[in-house]
Every structure is written in structure tokens, then in C-alpha cells.
Structure 1
Amino acid sequence: MITISVYKDADGKMVGFHSMGHAGFAESGHDIVCAAVSALIINTVNSIETFTSDTFELKEDEGMIDFRIISKPGNDSTLLLNSLFLGLNGIREDYGKQYIKFV
């Protein structure tokens, strides 16, 4: 199961996330849920880096990504993070809640 937690600032605005684990939908290399989640997460991080001036911390390890905006998040970063979670929720609804858990 992929476990995802959201980081919010004092105003309740999303500023990052922690993603850990593997979906277990299929064998490694054939797991479309893991691939979809990874693609959304990596694209979001790359988009925030490329298209915004926000600064962030990123930690990666096997099956784990920890991303947190450390500057005041701009509207573009907020939109990209909201878009990420829209996509993640869509995957969760389409493939089953047993593969992605929000904590």
C-alpha cells in the first residue's frame, strides 16, 4: 500500500507531502497503480521546481518521497499540489482504496 500524508502550514494551506510504499496492485515492473502515482508525484515536484520560484526540500529513498515547500507557497505551487491530490484521489477511486491510503 502507498501511504500519503499531507503537510499543511499554519493557515491550513497544503505545502507538501510524504509518500511511502508500493501499491501491490501487480508484480514489480507491471504495477500500473505504482507507476501512475509515481508519475503524478514526480511531475508535480518537477513542475514546482521548473514553473515556480518557491523553494523546497526533497528527500528520496526507495519507495519514499518527502517534499515540503519551505518558502511561502505561491498560487502556482498550491494549484499544482491540489492537482496532484485530485489525480491521486482519482487513481484511488478507480483502482481501490486498498492501494492508496491518505493519513
Structure 2
Amino acid sequence: MISITLQYDQLHENNGFSVSGHSDYSEAGSDIVCAAISALTQTALLGLMEYQQESVEYEISDGFLNVHVDCVTDEARVILKTLVLGLEQIVRQYDSYVVLNR
């Protein structure tokens, strides 16, 4: 199962996320759940790097991605909110394979 955890700062503003695990929906290379989660989260990371590279920290390895934004700008808010909207849709359809922790 893929576990996604949203991170928040002391003001309860989303300032990052972590993703770990594999969905096991299908075999590697044809797993649409894993592909969808990967596409959304890695695109969010690319967007954050584009708009505020100096305040984005990330760690990536097989089955793991952790992204943290030190200073959340308006652009980062939009990117992170859009990510959450996409993740929520995937969770609604594939809740046996992915969980979203807030």
C-alpha cells in the first residue's frame, strides 16, 4: 500500500508531503496507481523547484519521496493544494491501494 502523509507548519499550513510504499495494484511497469501517484507527486516537486528552488528540500529513493518547503509562497500553496486535490481523487477510486494521512 502507498502511504501519503501531508506535512504542516505551526500555522497548520501544508508545507510538504511524504510518499512511501508500493500499491501492488499490478506488476511493476503496469501499475496505474503507482504511476498516477508518482506523476502527481513528482510534478508537484518540479513545480515547487521551478518557483522557489532555494526553499525546497527533498529526498527520493525507490518507493519513497519526501518534500518539504521552508517558506510557503502563494505559488507553493497552489501547487500543494492542486496536488492534494489530485491525490484525493486517486484515494477515492483506489482506497485499497493508497491512503492519505493529513
TM-score band, normalised by the shorter chain? over 0.9
| Aligned-CA RMSD value | 1.2
Counterpart Cα distance in 2 of 1:92 and 1:42:
17
Q: Deviations over 1:6-57 (max 9, x none)?
A: 1101110000011001111111100001001000001000011113466111
Counterpart Cα distance in 1 of 2:14 and 2:28:
31
Aligned to 1:35: 35
Aligned to 1:5: 5
Q: Deviations over 1:70-98 (max 9, x none)?
A: 1x20011011001001001111112x211
Displaced runs of 4 or more, over 3 A: none
1:97 matched to 2:95? The reply is yes
Aligned to 1:79: 78
SS of 1:6 mapped into structure 2: strand
Does the CA-based 8 Å contact 2:91-2:100 persist in structure 1? no
- Give the residue type in structure 2 aligned to 1:57: E
- Give the residue type in structure 2 aligned to 1:61: S
1:15 matched to 2:18? The reply is no
Unaligned runs of 5+ in 1: none
Classify 1:11/1:54 alpha carbon distance in 2 versus 1 (closer, same or farther; 3 Å): farther
- TM-score in terms of structure 2 length: 0.93
Does the CA-based 8 Å contact 1:54-1:69 persist in structure 2? no
Aligned length: 101
Counting aligned pairs with the same residue, the percent is: 28
